[in-house]
Structure 1
Amino acid sequence: MHLTLGTRGSALARTQSRQVADAIEASGAARGDEVTVELETITTQGDTSRASLVGLSQTGVFVAALRDHLLEGGCDLVVHSLKDMPVGEHPDLELVSIPVREDVRDALCSRGATLTGLRTGAKVGTGSPRRAAQLRRARPDLEVVDIRGNVDTRLARIDDDLDAVVLAAAGLARLDLSEAVTEFLPVDVMTPAAGQGALAIEIRRDASDELRDLLRALDDADTRAAVTAERAALAVLEAGCSAPVGAYATVTGAALRLHVRALDASGSLQLNEVVTGPVAEATRLGRTAAHALLGRGAARLVTKP
């Protein structure tokens, strides 16, 4: 079986897509099938625009072009960073597999200073309103700078005009750049984005059962349950990439624990909700946590005035 996998052109996207392709080929070999996976690079609006992500279409800016190419039959499957995907189901596409999640944490990269050790008024770069709000809450004196660009471009700014940048630990690990990390930020300081660290494999709903079965072998049940709860909360809060909302679930045996955090842009106001329950009720737990936050006024924090 020869498959074409659609991917964004960034170094990180191609690296994580190649990792998925290798896993698919290995899964096929374990079943006694010869499977080859070829990467096809697709340019997205998020790759070509130099505007702030906050000024773009927010949720799905890196996803739409990949999905269009898949629907047109240009490739057999696509790989997304799950945190970039819209939370609603696509009528013609299936999220067939979510492999084992990487490190969910955010990472501070600096010249050596930790978050608490940064100088007063230090400039810290991030393109994420969620990270920005939590940075301001932890260190109100910091100057948070909105940045764009690939991982190497962002890291280079530490030696240029910034004191530090905050990036996803998973992306740095996949690029073998973990040595650039000064501090892995604890999840109680920097609650991750829903789905952070996870990848998503998407196919057309009319794909063959042979392809579906091959890809489902890569699905990790615990990861899927955790991100299902996180994304269910995000859907109720109607919070996309522009909202300072974090959601992080863990699975222990048959139990799931979900922490959802909503902040205002300044980080001065914060609401937290923690729920626990059966893994089988991941969607309900996510919705329960989000409705509890809405009942406490979260809509005023996550909605732009």
Structure 2
Amino acid sequence: MMRTLRLGTRRSNLAMAQSQQVADTITAVTGHPVELVPIVSEGDVSRASLSQMGGTGVFATALREALLAGECDFLVHSLKDLPTAQPPELVIAATPVREDARDVVVTRDGTPLHLLRPGALVGTGSPRRRAQVHRRNPRVEVRDLRGNVDSRLQRVRDGELDAVVLAAAGLARIGIDLGDLGLEPLGLAAWPTAAGQGALAVETTADAAADVQAALARIDDTTTRIAVTAERTVLAALEAGCHAPVGVHADLAGDDLRIDAVVYALDGSSRIGMDRVAVFPREYGGSQGSGDGADAAEGANPIAYAVRAGSDVARRLLDNGAAELVPRESTP
């Protein structure tokens, strides 16, 4: 029998659900049993806002420490929770097929965000979403929001908030029944989301055992990896961390990689956007199972093309004045 692999994960319902899905996929395609190893991170126990705690990396630190200590064989993160600077001793060995990257607005009665009454209370802990909400409906008030998906939805049901903005992927992975709550999906063209939203990062050590590397390579999706590499390159090149209201979404269709990126003022009063289509060589169209460890080395490979395209979008944004909007001290 093949040895059991140990998957390190946060303890939240969403993290456990998405980790179990990865575990089940690995078992199905490789035969390796996979055991979940729950790990508590600072982001799970602190009630402070993400910006006060220092950003999205607070969810990854404890997991990475456990991985390096040998307590597990690999980790599953929500990719948008990972800083763009990758530690040299760790690699993102797989990015499985991406879920829905959109945000959704959940309300009690289905009223669209732009029609919510003046003074309506909208909950989100994201500076990007805060800026986008203000642009979509400047009459509402935005309240900082932490907690798991269930608690956020309950605050709408209880009337404490009129709406919350959530990731569609999280709702799908948990399989929550919204009951009579209203759901408004927000199109990515007008409402680009966080770099890597909807995607998972499966991380292991650079010197991981051969069977671990082989197992993770089987669940890597090249189309997803190309898109999220371009998105994270935009974020890194802008020197923008979690404090910066930056929305970016990339999509690979055939030979075309389309990148939509917008930098917002924190109060949503202004924006600078860029929409670019990069043409990939035909032989680098999306496929599954590359397992290339996100190597962006120079040369004719799809990841290098994605890095080049993302860097070009970031340069154009900066040329158009994005540096005036991005809090550059929050480098990831």
* Counterpart selection for 1:72 from 58, 69, 78: 69
CA distance in 2 between partners of 1:143 and 1:295 (Å)? 32
Query: Is the CA contact 2:195–2:247 (under 8 Å) kept in the aligned structure 1?
Result: yes
Query: Is the CA contact 1:129–1:243 (under 8 Å) kept in the aligned structure 2?
Result: yes
2:69 equivalent to 1:92: no
- C-alpha offsets along residues 218-268 of structure 1, whole Å, 9 cap, x if unaligned? 011110000000000000111111110011000011220101110011111
SS of the counterpart of 1:135?
helix
Change (3 A) 1:304 1:252: closer
Change (3 A) 1:300 1:194: same
TM-score, reference length from structure 1: 0.96
CA distance in 2 between partners of 1:181 and 1:167 (Å)? 13
The corresponding residue for 1:170 is: 169
Q: Give runs of aligned pairs for residues 7-18 of structure 1, distance below 5 A.
A: 7-18=9-20
The corresponding residue for 1:300 is: 324
SS of the counterpart of 1:189?
coil
SS of the counterpart of 2:113?
coil
The corresponding residue for 2:154 is: 156
- 1:278 deviates by 3.2
The corresponding residue for 2:39 is: 42
CA distance in 1 between partners of 2:209 and 2:70 (Å)? 13
The corresponding residue for 2:226 is: 225
The runs of at least 4 consecutive aligned structure 1 residues that moved more than 3 Å come to 178-181
The corresponding residue for 2:184 is: 183
- C-alpha offsets along residues 16-57 of structure 1, whole Å, 9 cap, x if unaligned? 00000000100113xxxxx11111110101011111112111
The letter of the residue matching 1:260 is A
CA distance in 2 between partners of 1:190 and 1:55 (Å)? 25
2:26 equivalent to 1:24: yes
SS of the counterpart of 2:43?
helix
The corresponding residue for 1:131 is: 129
> Alpha carbon RMSD of aligned pairs, Å?
1.3
Query: Is the CA contact 1:134–1:189 (under 8 Å) kept in the aligned structure 2?
Result: no
- 1:161 deviates by 1.1
- C-alpha offsets along residues 84-143 of structure 1, whole Å, 9 cap, x if unaligned? 101112110110000000000001000121112312221000010000000001111110
User: Alignment length, in residue pairs?
Assistant: 300
Unaligned runs of 5+ in 2: 281-301
The corresponding residue for 2:236 is: 235
CA distance in 1 between partners of 2:131 and 2:190 (Å)? 11
The letter of the residue matching 2:124 is T
SS of the counterpart of 2:276?
strand
The corresponding residue for 2:273 is: 272
CA distance in 2 between partners of 1:107 and 1:99 (Å)? 22
* Counterpart selection for 1:289 from 313, 316, 323: 313
The corresponding residue for 2:294 is: none
CA distance in 2 between partners of 1:241 and 1:153 (Å)? 22
The corresponding residue for 1:32 is: none
Q: Give runs of aligned pairs for residues 188-267 of structure 1, distance below 5 A.
A: 188-267=189-268
Unaligned runs of 5+ in 1: 30-34
- 1:13 deviates by 0.3
SS of the counterpart of 1:61?
helix
Query: Is the CA contact 2:240–2:328 (under 8 Å) kept in the aligned structure 1?
Result: no
The letter of the residue matching 1:157 is R
CA distance in 2 between partners of 1:67 and 1:304 (Å)? 25
CA distance in 2 between partners of 1:125 and 1:59 (Å)? 18
